Structure 1
Amino acid sequence: MKTSVRTIFNEGDGHAVLMLHGLSSSPLELRYLARFLSDEGFTTCVPVLEGYTAGSREQSMEQWLEAATREYDALAERYERVSICGLSIGAALALALVHRRPRAQSVALLSLTLAYDGWAIPWYRFLLNWAYYSPLRSRYRYRESAPYGLRNDALRAKIARAMERDDFSEVGPSTISLPALHEASRLAACVRSQLRGIRNDCLIVHAIDDETSSPRNPRFVASSIGSAFLRTIWLDDSYHMITSDNEREIVARETALFLRESEIASRTGDAGGKPVVSKALARRLRQLAAMGKGRA
């Protein structure tokens, strides 16, 4: 059985948020966040992107960006402000889009993935780009496995059952093709070269223990992006799928707060906002420091 894939759209005020899901997945990944932002008054749109969303014929990263650009332009014609939010590879796509459309109000990067380098990624991952140029290209599919991006045990068990029944679940696809992974790598390489030219307000939310995308990803972006208003939030009770996991409410609240602060700052002419380090990260750093002293 295949779950239907459809765009999520909620009408709100004049600040629209274009939300981009993860690679070969569906808008379901961002359903909770879209609903929360809608309740806060934002217009939210989580589109189906041809060639990128599950169930559509796979295409190149240039075509992913074209599809996302069309969605952005459609919102920009109707709403005073448009911000862009992306999850995982969708966050990399959001960066490419905001580089193309610098008039976007702001960009929110959730579990940003420029490299699959988390602790659960198999050792042979680096070989897959080579395999793309072999006969494996049309046969190999990377299969998702536990923990499925989730620290929450009950939700993880639910997703494991869903993965057995369907091609994808609310936290992503059961498998990802080699061509899709290759295009994601190409997208990431493109984004790395564009970061210094991106000056839009930027929010980064990432789990310290992300098993798919290590903290090196957001740290690289935070140190390279040209944003004057940059906020970084670290989570300590989630894995990769932070929009569904234990701290999804924190992710939703921080995203809504950032979007409104960005909007207000642009109206008042205040570039505002010093980089923020969350209490979760400060607590974890104290714990690590204490462990280091104990071993000394």
Structure 2
Amino acid sequence: MQYLAKGLRRAGFATLAPHFKGYGFGERSDPFATGTWQQWRAQVLDYFDELARNYRSVCVSGLCVGAVLALDLAAERPGQVTALSLLATTLAYDGWSIPWYYFLAPLAYHTPLRYRYSYRERHPYGVKNESLRKWIAREMSEKTTSIAGASSLPMTAVYEAKKLIRHVRGAISRVNAPALVIHAKEDDVASLKSAEFVLEKIGSKDVHFVLLHDSYHMVTLDNEKEVVADETIRFFCDRFRKTASAPVAGRTPRDVTNKSSAAA
């Protein structure tokens, strides 16, 4: 999310891009101690509530499971989110690079394997850009993380992510925030069905869809990252202008209104 955050700052937004404990980035003494999806939600809500206390307008963006958490946040805080940017929303792990045996995963969730097995990131690492993909592959072979995220995902994290997804699928009709949905036609992790579900089921009346044709899953890194940043900035600015109002006493208009939070 770094490229997007930099673009938002250049556009005048204050930004926060936290690494929450549980899924993706984050060092843990026990890699399988990822916590529950409710604990992930609590972290996101805490970040959002702190921003909302200090800024009149808060926009939220998330990538992959971060987009699912952004939807959950908007359902839990109706009328409080100025705008959403939902990037590669993952409501099912059904992309073309997901291994054929993934359908067996639910069986492992209910065995001790849940606390022993990690899904290692593999080619193409969610990236269509070949030079970037090679660099990510080298990073992941030498470290536990790369610019694309963690080199492996514990089964416990995937298990909790699937429970979060199930919950959000049932709650998405309560999301009334303006939403920008950006998804790659060739997403290797989550097919277009996830984006189509959001477009069909979300409760918001203000929804905009951008289809990418030269990217895989990691849309904030890949060949069309500029498109992702530009569309998000434009959407946030337009919705901010519609909701801008008088500043809170004791704060300047910039302090109060220009805020974007990215959860990934």
TM-score normalised by structure 1 residue count: 0.79
Supply the distance in 1 between the matched residues of 2:214 and 2:157 (Cα, whole angstroms): 29
- Does residue 58 of the first structure (1) align with residue 34 of the second (2)? yes
- Pick from 256, 262, 272 the counterpart of residue 239 of structure 2: 262
- Does residue 119 of the first structure (1) align with residue 90 of the second (2)? no
CA offsets 1:255-279 (integer angstroms, 9 cap, x no match)? 00000111123359xxxxxxxxxxx
Give the structure 2 partner of residue 86 of structure 1: 62
Supply the distance in 2 between the matched residues of 1:228 and 1:266 (Cα, whole angstroms): 15
Gaps of 5+ in 1: 1-29, 269-296
Supply the distance in 2 between the matched residues of 1:204 and 1:170 (Cα, whole angstroms): 22
Q: How many positions carry a matched residue from both structures?
A: 239
Contact 2:57 2:81 in 1 (8 A): yes
Range that drifts further, 206-215 or 165-174: 165-174
TM-score normalised by structure 2 residue count: 0.88
Give the structure 1 partner of residue 256 of structure 2: none
Range that drifts further, 119-128 or 215-224: 119-128
Contact 2:97 2:188 in 1 (8 A): yes
CA drift at 1:236: 0.2
Q: Name the SS of the counterpart of 2:240 in structure 1.
A: helix
One-letter amino acid of the structure 2 residue matched with residue 127 of structure 1: L
Supply the distance in 1 between the matched residues of 2:125 and 2:102 (Cα, whole angstroms): 17
Query: Counterparts in 2 of 1:70-219, with a 5 A limit?
Result: 70-102=46-78, 103-219=80-196
Range that drifts further, 191-200 or 233-242: 191-200
Supply the distance in 2 between the matched residues of 1:36 and 1:221 (Cα, whole angstroms): 25
CA drift at 1:40: 0.5
CA drift at 1:238: 0.4
Query: Counterparts in 2 of 1:241-256, with a 5 A limit?
Result: 241-256=218-233
Contact 2:57 2:244 in 1 (8 A): no
Give the structure 2 partner of residue 221 of structure 1: 198
The percent of aligned pairs where both chains have the same amino acid is 41
Alpha-carbon RMSD: 1.2
CA offsets 1:210-266 (integer angstroms, 9 cap, x no match)? 000000000011000011110000000000000000000000000000001111233
* Structure with the larger RCO, 1 or 2 (CA within 8 Å, 6+ apart): 2
Gaps of 5+ in 2: 246-264
CA drift at 1:135: 2.1
Which portions of structure 1, spanning 4 or more consecutive aligned residues, are displaced by more than 4 angstroms? none
Supply the distance in 2 between the matched residues of 1:186 and 1:83 (Cα, whole angstroms): 25
Supply the distance in 2 between the matched residues of 1:181 and 1:144 (Cα, whole angstroms): 13
Supply the distance in 2 between the matched residues of 1:211 and 1:141 (Cα, whole angstroms): 19
Contact 2:120 2:152 in 1 (8 A): yes
